[in-house]
Amino acid sequence: MPWSLRTRLISVLDGAGVLELAMAARKFVRLPYLPIVTYHRLGVPKQNAADLDETVVDATKEGFERQVELLMRRFTLLSIEDLRLHFLDRKPLPKNPALITFDDGYRECHDIALPVLQRAGGKAVFFISTDHIEDRKTFWWDRANYLVKRSKKTRIEIDYPAPIVHDLSGDRTKVVQQILDVIKETYALDIERYLNALSVALDVPWGPAEEKRITDEALMTWDQVRAMRRAGMDVESHTRTHRVLQTLPPEDLREELEGSRRILEAQLDEPVRAIAYPVSLSPGEHDTIFNAVRTAGYDLGFSTSQGLGPLGAKTNPLDIQRIWVDPNLSHSYFRAAVAVPHLTYRRR
């Protein structure tokens, strides 16, 4: 069904009260789906991420408040332990369960999401990319956006990892996407070498002082992460450097998984048992990745890339699907996404 038609259908269903009835019915009828909502940043894209990646801003503060209110009113929010015991010990989930998750570790998690959740009496899971918090390193997608947005060049050539010419005279978002695709898809890429080459080609300086300034403005500190945990939020792994796992040699894969868990456990002084995969990309048919995740000590793994699957005996606990959120989604669309997930699911 075309998305424009689907959007109109959702609006009609919501206006007729069908979505509200569907959510109410879930209190009495167990459905084999668990709505898990994924966020990254909160705010206004042009304000909160003007020089960085605006596409990772998923909701305004007001939109998030409204979405949390709906979830608190119609659903029972889970913790990681609730879900872990469900898969490991077959402990039943409450009727109409849902889960709120945040990926990466942006500062809005502490400054905006936490107060909203506390006022509502809610909870969420925050998946942290540890090296960016530890070393005050800017995420590679934000760094690529920064370099491209600030450049005065109209054309550049890059030799690594393969020769390519980028035309910056038109839509620069396409250039950014080409750069990010290289990072997401190139096996064993030296990201630092690649980004440094971009900095030189684009003639945009990048150094430790600028990186720390950007990181301190955008990301949480460990003190803030620990404050989140003390407030009752779950804190889990999002690997060390947010590399796409399918592109990593075995030793790097192992360190991304085991190293992140080790760092988090040292910071939080408690076990870490869940991971959200970088770029929300499901390991799919990559048994070597699932085996590495399992060996690293994780019981749960989350992705957002293969379609929303049923929750049941055949669900792979290391590949639990989630739902994207977008700041342009209407509240009707969000209501449909959590009430009848298959009506709205789309790949991002």
Measured distance CA(197)–CA(199) in Å, rounded: 5
Residue 335: per-residue pLDDT: 87
pLDDT band at 51 (very low <50, low <70, confident <90, very high): very high
Closest among 205, 50, 225 to 142, alpha carbons compared: 50
pLDDT band at 5 (very low <50, low <70, confident <90, very high): confident
pLDDT of 348 > 70? The answer is: no
Residue indicated by tokens 């424009």: 4
- Most confident option among 30-44, 48-62, 137-151: 137-151
β-partners of residue 37 are 100, 323
Amino acid at the residue 338: V
Residue indicated by tokens 């009260």: 17
pLDDT band at 236 (very low <50, low <70, confident <90, very high): very high
Helix/strand/coil percentages in the chain, nearest 5: 50, 15, 35
Across 226-251, average pLDDT: 98
Higher pLDDT, 97 or 312: 97
What is the CATH number that goes with domain 3-136+219-344? Answer: 3.20.20.370
Residue indicated by tokens 């077959």: 90
β-partners of residue 155 are 167
pLDDT of 269 > 60? The answer is: yes
Q: Which two tokens stand for residue 322?
A: 């989630």
Antiparallel, parallel or unpaired: β 300-303 and 274-276: parallel
Across 27-44, average pLDDT: 87
